[in-house]
Structure 1
Amino acid sequence: MKETEILALLQKYQEGTLSDEDKDKLDAWYLYAASNSNRDLNEYELEDSYGYLKSKLPLHAETKVIKIWPRIVAAASIALLLGTGILYWTKPKEKMVHIVEKTEEIVPGGTRGILTLSNGKQIVLSDISAKDTIAKEGENDEVTIKMDANGVITYTVNPNAEISKENANAFNTLSTPTGGQYNIVLADGTKVYLNTVSSLKYPTRFNGNQRLVELEGEAYFEVAKNKEKPFMVKSGNQSVEVLGTHFNIHAYNNEPVIKTTLLEGSVSVTYKNQKTFLKPGEQSNAAYNSNTIVIRKVDTEAAVAWKNGRFKFDNADLKSVMKQLERWYGIKVEYRGDVSDVRFSGGTFMNKNLSEVLKVLELSNIKFKVEGKTIIVYP
């Protein structure tokens, strides 16, 4: 098969217009070339197999095509050939191709959570198949905990039930593991979207003159309005108070700054001895090693993109970007060289495999090498 013919078939593959007959032709050629290979090469020595193919392809005399594999295998072979970036084309005199074994894809996280009841019992939410009542709280079943058809946890207070001493100050905790997110509706109707590697401690019902919850990690809140009972979120040395509004808090213990982003309404932010108020579109930054609060205008869509299933970066530094990937994909990141001045804008979807996300980041001239679950970053 001539070089021009092969390139034409590959172009059709990239465009998604290959016919079944063309797939068989390309598969037969691939099998012939790969079967004669005797050369190993690590996948990271190539930056772009398709571009490399067009510039280096050493094809020779036309070869008789014999159909060896079914069409479904042919399609898989082509996907391996083009989609993994692990081709090596030898010098013309060798006439051989070798395919390095494809590394296992690192898949994205999903809907996973653990609910800890006031008695210490833990319920792994991802293991629950029934979408109905999953637990009750209190001696008199004052609070019913349910899971709806979308997997959202809801709390319903029985107004006719006598409040037992046990449930007067009962707390539950919703936590998410690495690669997990979960949504919950609290007893007052407040919706909380909990990001990965986070936990929210909250009362099963809100008694007294305030609604207090405690957050570690990241969460987006849509607070039910109640002018008589302010809603408060405590994260370390910071507390946020609202009456009813939408905001995001990013407060991971392994990051140096607590970020609170307001989307609508107003909130007050107190950090150590400082207090300030946010307007929509503003974000407060409270550094652990400082006593001050810095306010800046931000892209609110980037701050809450995770809630909508996206990575979105607004001039984000490389290390903060990689921390998001560590939590979502369960990876470890190592740096080889100075990357302090590398910043990203743009994004991609969180349901993609890690390899696809890294390709997007590589557009900023950063190189990645995957070794198992470790990602090595080169400037």
Structure 2
Amino acid sequence: MNLQEVKEILELMSSGNCTKQQEDTFMEWLSGADKSEFLTVLNWWEEMLEQRNDHGNADAGLISRIEDGLNHIETPVIPFQVKKQEPQRGNFKVVLAIAASLFMVLSAALFFYYTKSNTPVYNQISRSQILNDIKPGGNKAVLTLSDGTKVDLNNVHAGGVVANQSGIRIVKNRDGQLIYNIISNNEPNTAGLYNTIQTPLGGQYQVNLPDGSKVWLNAASSLRYPVNFDSDERRVELKGEGYFEVAKDKEKPFRVQTKNQVVEVLGTHFNINSYEEEDHTKTSLLEGSVRIRSLINKRTIVLVPGQQALLNDYTINVKEVDVNEVASWKDGYFVFNNESAATVMRKIARWYNLEVIYENNIGNIDFAGSVARYQNVSEIIKTLELTGLVHFKLEGRKLTVIAN
């Protein structure tokens, strides 16, 4: 059977008109498909479902048989449940997201996994001990005003005024975003006035800065910024992780300062991960252009879209990445791209406010895959457990990771 014939059967599957004989023929072809053919079929399937806007016609038994037929693929495929109404992810496509619509159709995604040697692991799955469950993080933050007053934004109702400062009104809009508006007829006297917004473990928040720039803060992060950009630059200070959509202003460059670098832009979209516990500060560019200057070795580089700069105390390197995957956290997803188990667990710990400890050696384990952030932690750890590489014990907010 050639690919055109496979495509015709997929059309019948998507409409619910596939016969048992056609299903069997497809399964037989699938058992001998190589990786290139497999990915081609996944792309076709996604396109068909998008055109039909109907994910409900595929038979559950057929889905199960398709999964069973995938064991020969170089990287094993593990299905897992995700939230049925997923946030929009922008325009990027990862293989696991494409495969989601094929294998669980109504409410699933895929999880690929590797060890350091890229050798599939088929250990018997151990059942995790979940003595309680923990809900995902959400919009939580504290705003510190220029006079030191702290405002818990969770206690401000949507549409309410957070504060008034020297002709600047700060409001929390109905979408839960923080907005700065100039309300004085005269030029506000805001020189030297700074605000800081800080998210806790298990929190995130979006703030619209006085110049119209938008910043999304990930968990355990903070942003310090002037109440009004009234100097010849727009400078903010970031700790943790933030995604920036900078308003264009050729007269006032926008600069983001972290512990060890300054990123300068005129108007662009980029993501900075600068958690102190990570080995590198990672700056990923989605649109426009940015200039990065190391505060340690004074080296300067310029990124173009699709590039990521990795900076530590001694070096700065650039590599090509899928930057949409890097910024997927703000759209409600964890995306792991061949990341160490320790790195993966730090991301999970920040979002669910967990203390993570380890038993046995996890140093040779890498994960790659995608899972929705808006589900209880039990669903996340059950997914990771399906790899056969690890199992877990959750007691209170202490999560023990045990290598199999």
Superposition TM-score, scaled by structure 1 size: 0.70
Matches of 1:127 and 1:329, distance apart in 2 = 21
Deviation at 1:162, TM superposition (A): 4.0
Return the match for 2:393 from 355, 364, 369.
369
Q: Which has the higher contact order (CA 8 A, sep 6+)?
A: 2
Deviations 1:289-318 (A, max 9, x none): x2x211111121221111001111111111
Return the match for 2:301 from 260, 276, 296.
276
Conserved in 2, the CA contact under 8 Å of 1:299 and 1:314? no
Segments of 5+ residues of structure 1 without an aligned counterpart are 1-14, 16-100
In the TM superposition, 1:97-112 aligns within 5 A as 103-112=131-140
User: In the alignment, what sits opposite 1:187?
Assistant: 210
Matches of 2:246 and 2:276, distance apart in 1 = 24
User: In the alignment, what sits opposite 2:354?
Assistant: 331
Q: What SS class does the counterpart of residue 188 from structure 1 fall into?
A: coil
Deviations 1:332-367 (A, max 9, x none): 111112212211111111111111101221233222
Deviation at 1:179, TM superposition (A): 0.4
Q: Does 1:226 align with 2:254?
A: no
User: In the alignment, what sits opposite 1:33?
Assistant: none
User: In the alignment, what sits opposite 1:161?
Assistant: 186
Deviation at 1:221, TM superposition (A): 0.2
Deviations 1:101-154 (A, max 9, x none): 97221111111010110011111001112513221112xxx1111111101001
Conserved in 2, the CA contact under 8 Å of 1:317 and 1:340? yes
Conserved in 1, the CA contact under 8 Å of 2:245 and 2:268? yes
Conserved in 2, the CA contact under 8 Å of 1:347 and 1:360? no
Q: Does 1:136 align with 2:164?
A: yes
Matches of 1:369 and 1:280, distance apart in 2 = 41
Aligned partner of 1:160: which letter? Answer: N
Rg larger for:
1
Matches of 1:171 and 1:268, distance apart in 2 = 25
Return the match for 1:257 from 280, 285, 303.
280
Q: Does 1:127 align with 2:152?
A: no
Matches of 1:339 and 1:162, distance apart in 2 = 58
Deviation at 1:208, TM superposition (A): 1.5
Q: What SS class does the counterpart of residue 175 from structure 2 fall into?
A: coil
Q: Does 1:343 align with 2:388?
A: no
Return the match for 2:328 from 305, 309, 314.
305
Deviation at 1:322, TM superposition (A): 0.4
Identity %: 42
Matches of 1:184 and 1:372, distance apart in 2 = 32
Deviations 1:226-266 (A, max 9, x none): 11110000001210000000000000112221000000111
Runs of 4+ in structure 1 deviating by more than 4 angstroms, as ranges, are: none
- Number of residue equivalences: 274
Conserved in 2, the CA contact under 8 Å of 1:266 and 1:280? yes
Matches of 1:337 and 1:315, distance apart in 2 = 20
Aligned partner of 1:370: which letter? Answer: L
Conserved in 2, the CA contact under 8 Å of 1:198 and 1:217? yes
Q: Does 1:246 align with 2:269?
A: yes
User: In the alignment, what sits opposite 1:206?
Assistant: 229
Segments of 5+ residues of structure 2 without an aligned counterpart are 1-59, 61-128
Matches of 1:217 and 1:334, distance apart in 2 = 21
Q: What SS class does the counterpart of residue 259 from structure 1 fall into?
A: strand
CA 330–185 in structure 1, closer or farther in 2 if over 3 Å, else same: same
Matches of 1:280 and 1:211, distance apart in 2 = 22
Aligned partner of 2:341: which letter? Answer: L
CA 350–343 in structure 1, closer or farther in 2 if over 3 Å, else same: same
User: In the alignment, what sits opposite 2:193?
Assistant: 170
Matches of 1:173 and 1:163, distance apart in 2 = 19
Matches of 2:319 and 2:308, distance apart in 1 = 5
Conserved in 1, the CA contact under 8 Å of 2:245 and 2:270? yes
Matches of 2:317 and 2:184, distance apart in 1 = 43
Conserved in 2, the CA contact under 8 Å of 1:261 and 1:303? yes
Matches of 2:187 and 2:234, distance apart in 1 = 20
CA 190–337 in structure 1, closer or farther in 2 if over 3 Å, else same: same
Superposition TM-score, scaled by structure 2 size: 0.66
Return the match for 2:375 from 352, 358, 376.
352
